[in-house]
Amino acid sequence: MNDRFVWIAAPVHDLLRKGLEQRGYTLIDDSNFERSASIKTLSCCEGVITSTRLKIDREMIDAAPHLKWIGRMGSGMELIDVAYAESKGILVASSPEGNSNAVAEHALGMLLNLIRRIGWSCNEVRAGQWFREENRGIELEGKTIGIIGFGNTGQAFAKKLSGFDATLLVYDKYRQDGFPNYVSACPSLDPIWENADIISFHVPLQNDTHHYCNEAFIAKANKRFILINTSRGEVAETKAIAIGLKSGKLRGACLDVLEGEPLSALNPSDALLVAEMIGLPTVIITPHIAGYTYEAIEKMSQILLQKIVMDK
């Protein structure tokens, strides 16, 4: 095959496009992710740049005899059969370093917005209302924040929080050392359950993290806490969040991701729960945009270009 095709199936920065073209690739821009169309497109490609909408499983891989590499914009490999791809000699590269700062900033922004009631009170002022006592907030200083998962985004979030004079408890089942001095590493979740005022999830979606935050997890917390989830929607069970908010076990929730997102794809029961939650002043939900900044797109594009072609 003379032409070397790359399917651009995700938003990317022009530097990635130009870098691939300079290396002799012909780019295919196609946003049709219907199964049969995806298989047809991928079948002629040497590489693919993907994000969260394209599932690359065994069937897709077997239908792509020319495929040499898969580039993932961002983190999270749950939609790619990485083991099978690598068994076929296909390079699989992600770029979590590129959007970790963006995710950390967004998580902090949601948290501050929630505890200081910024968005809620702003909307009241827009409606001609002026409620001060009702919008009295709380401060991060002196609070205990549990961070579950200390990869790229967990580390970036901890760094942002390090200047707030809060106690940072970190748990990562895959890491035992190399923690910065402004966090306290925990051998188990127990110290977080016992002490945390805020718990933030920064874990990949895999078998042991599906519904990680469920009713049992929330029930084990000694304090009413604020939940932050910027990882994957399926990490925190929608029903458990709703029950926690109603019971008071959850003081609030900052969610950038939902189970079964987008809203139009939610099952009826979850859609009803989300509609009820978003009407609460203690809940902030954003449409999976934490890692989706202009800067992050550029950083991830540069990182993927380095990993998939420049290192060869």
**80 found inside a domain:** yes
* Domain total in the chain: 2
**37 found inside a domain:** yes
pLDDT in tens, 44-70: 999 999 998 899 999 999 999 999 999
pLDDT score of 1:
47
Contacts of residue 171, Cβ cutoff 8 Å, sequence gap at least 6 = 146, 147, 148, 149, 150, 185, 186, 188, 189, 192
Distance CA 107, CA 289 (A): 10
Could you list the residue range(s) of the whole structural domain that residue 58 is in?
A: 4-94
Whether 110 and 89 share a structural domain? no
pLDDT score of 311:
52
CB 8 within 8 Å of CB 27: yes
Nearest to 194 by CA among 207, 184, 204: 184
Distance CA 225, CA 244 (A): 10
Whether 15 and 53 share a structural domain? yes
Domain boundary among 54, 78, 94: 94
Backbone angles phi and psi of 48, in degrees to 5: -145, 140
> In the chain, which stretches have pLDDT less than 70?
1-2, 310-312
Distance CA 45, CA 68 (A): 8
Whether 107 and 222 share a structural domain? yes
Strand partners for 283: 253
Task: Using a cut of 0.95, tell me whether the model's pTM lies above it.
Answer: no
pLDDT score of 89:
96
pLDDT score of 105:
98
Distance CA 175, CA 179 (A): 9
Domain boundary among 53, 75, 94: 94
Whether 47 and 177 share a structural domain? no
**291 found inside a domain:** no
Whether 276 and 128 share a structural domain? yes
CATH of the domain at 69: 3.40.50.720
Active site residues: 232, 261, 288
**229 found inside a domain:** yes
Whether 153 and 277 share a structural domain? yes
Determine how many CB atoms are found less than 10 A away from the CB of residue 160: 16
Whether 11 and 152 share a structural domain? no
Exposure on the CB side of residue 277, measured as CA atoms within 13 A: 26
